[in-house]
A and B are shown apart, each in its own frame.
Chain A
Amino acid sequence: MYAQMVKSTGQGVKPREEMSPQERAFQDRIDADQKIEPKDWMPDAYRKTLIRQIGQHAHSEIVGQLPEGNWITRAPTLERKAILLAKVQDEAGHGLYLYCAAETLGVSRDELTQDLLSGRMKYSSIFNYPTLTWADMGAVGWLVDGAAIMNQVPLQRTSYGPYSRAMIRICKEESFHQRQGYDIMMKMANGSDAQKKMAQDALNRFWYPSLMMFGPSDKESVHSAQSMAWKIKINTNDELRQKFVDQTVPQAELLGLSIPDPDLRWNEERGHYDFSEPDWTEFFDVLRGAGPCNTDRMAARRNAWDDGAWFRDGLMAHAEKKRARAAAAKTAAE
């Protein structure tokens, strides 16, 4: 998902008998659906896993602005431009909410940023694909935000209070993102032959990368089992992927577009669509840094950090000067 392949630090779920009384009380609170708050005691591994997961989620929101940012100056109308701008601004806010949630666990935002820029922390594989035409803005909103929503809605119930509250804020805004994307797709799919072709092409290119967003099957993953016991992961990757396919296929039909999967069909018995798995070798290549846009995305983030340094420092210096001036004026008046 926006946080893919997050490894917990433990060796799987600790059996209850091996837990310390403190750990047992902690797990009991989670089982009773109580929220864990920043100052509460928590196992080290819970804290560390959450920092990785929330951090990776935050990085994804920030890097995720780049593929759409590419089209702000190229939007076909002023209205579309304003809408896309608002959407991308929302994503900056999502990054901010999540960094703040991670900070309550004792890591600073600058530390997290450094970990992204050095490549030690990852962001979602999906943002390493290029956005080649305007129809891609439709496909991204519809499919990428759609997949993100699948993951984020259950996370509103996650055990960590600040993470849960960030998710609630984010989910309120995501529906706008998906709808504006689908709206673009409707326009294109009902437009000229050339527009329809572009819409189909965008769907063709974004379908499998969107399925990859949920990560490889984690039915047998010890990391996922621990995260689920802690309620920082609510569903398995396969459950969410299936849900996404079931929701998206009828939407594609409504657009008159076809899903690029010859094996896709409704399975009456299961009550779900059968579908082809994405190419997981490609997924691991992209995670490793060999996707089509990895180098570009990282370069853009590094430049933003380096080129913004004078501005961050300048505002700090200005704030300090103002504070000193106010203090001097106060002393003079006394």
Chain B
Amino acid sequence: MTTNEWPLWEIFIRGQHGLSHRHVGSLHAPDAEMAIKHARDVYTRRNEGVSIWVAKAENIAASAPSDKGPLFEPSNDKVYRHPTFFDIPDEAGHM
């Protein structure tokens, strides 16, 4: 049996509350238009969203698990990037 499989799309939905689009899953569709239609049928069945993005899975570039160290560890010792690093007297008010 020959297969002419529809390509895979990654689906992103913006929820009701104005937050960013969030990855919810994937599906197969022949093109972007159909991917949006399928996404609406599968991923917004219970009022989950107000907007849909679709991206062909093959067009998504991802960091490699082995890059975890070089990519993310440098921020570990930069505690001064957090507001809690600074001691501010209460009299200064909310800051």
* Interface contact B42-A319, CB-CB below 8 Å: no
* Interface contact B30-A40, CB-CB below 8 Å: no
Indicate if B79 sits at the interface (CB-CB under 8 A). no
* Interface contact A110-B65, CB-CB below 8 Å: no
Chain A residues positioned under 8 Å from B26 (CB to CB): 100, 103
Task: Give the residue of B4, B25, B65 whose beta carbon is less than 8 angstroms from that of A97.
Answer: B25
Between B5, B27, B30, B41, the greatest number of chain A beta carbons within 10 A of the residue's beta carbon is seen for: B30
Task: Give the residue of B5, B25, B31 whose beta carbon is less than 8 angstroms from that of A323.
Answer: B31
- Decide: A110 near B3, CB < 8 A? Known: A39-B62, A93-B42: yes
Q: Mark B12-36, 1 if CB is under 8 A from A, else 0.
A: 0000000000000111101100100
In the complex the two chains form, what is the Cα distance from A323 to B45 in whole Å?
A: 29
Chain A residues positioned under 8 Å from B1 (CB to CB): 114
Q: Count A-B contacts at CB 8 Å.
A: 47
* Interface contact A313-B4, CB-CB below 8 Å: yes
Chain B residues positioned under 8 Å from A219 (CB to CB): none
* Interface contact A103-B4, CB-CB below 8 Å: no
The residue on A at minimum CB distance from B62 is: A39
* Interface contact A315-B25, CB-CB below 8 Å: no
Chain B residues positioned under 8 Å from A315 (CB to CB): 6, 30, 34
In the complex the two chains form, what is the Cα distance from A97 to B30 in whole Å?
A: 18
Indicate if B64 sits at the interface (CB-CB under 8 A). yes
Indicate if A316 sits at the interface (CB-CB under 8 A). yes
In the complex the two chains form, what is the Cα distance from A323 to B64 in whole Å?
A: 32
Indicate if B55 sits at the interface (CB-CB under 8 A). no
* Interface contact A319-B65, CB-CB below 8 Å: no
Kindly provide the distance from the CB of B2 to the nearest chain A CB, expressed in whole angstroms: 9
Size bin of chain A's contact surface? 20 to 34
Task: Give the residue of B8, B25, B27, B34 whose beta carbon is less than 8 angstroms from that of A319.
Answer: B34
Q: Which of A29-49 contact B (CB under 8 A)?
A: 37, 39-41
Task: Give the residue of B6, B8, B27, B64 whose beta carbon is less than 8 angstroms from that of A316.
Answer: B6
Task: Give the residue of B6, B30, B42 whose beta carbon is less than 8 angstroms from that of A96.
Answer: B42
The residue on A at minimum CB distance from B57 is: A103
* Interface contact A319-B45, CB-CB below 8 Å: no
* Interface contact A96-B27, CB-CB below 8 Å: yes
Chain B residues positioned under 8 Å from A319 (CB to CB): 30-31, 34
Indicate if A120 sits at the interface (CB-CB under 8 A). no
Indicate if A108 sits at the interface (CB-CB under 8 A). yes
Indicate if A197 sits at the interface (CB-CB under 8 A). no
Task: Give the residue of B4, B42, B45, B65 whose beta carbon is less than 8 angstroms from that of A312.
Answer: B4
Chain A residues positioned under 8 Å from B42 (CB to CB): 93, 96
Kindly provide the distance from the CB of A263 to the nearest chain B CB, expressed in whole angstroms: 42
Binding site for B on A (CB under 8 A): 37, 39-41, 86, 89-90, 93, 96-97, 100, 103, 108-110, 114, 165-166, 169, 312-313, 315-316, 318-319, 322-323
Given contacts A103-B26, A169-B25, A323-B31, 8 further A-B contacts (CB under 8 A): A96-B42, A97-B25, A110-B3, A110-B5, A114-B1, A312-B4, A312-B6, A318-B30
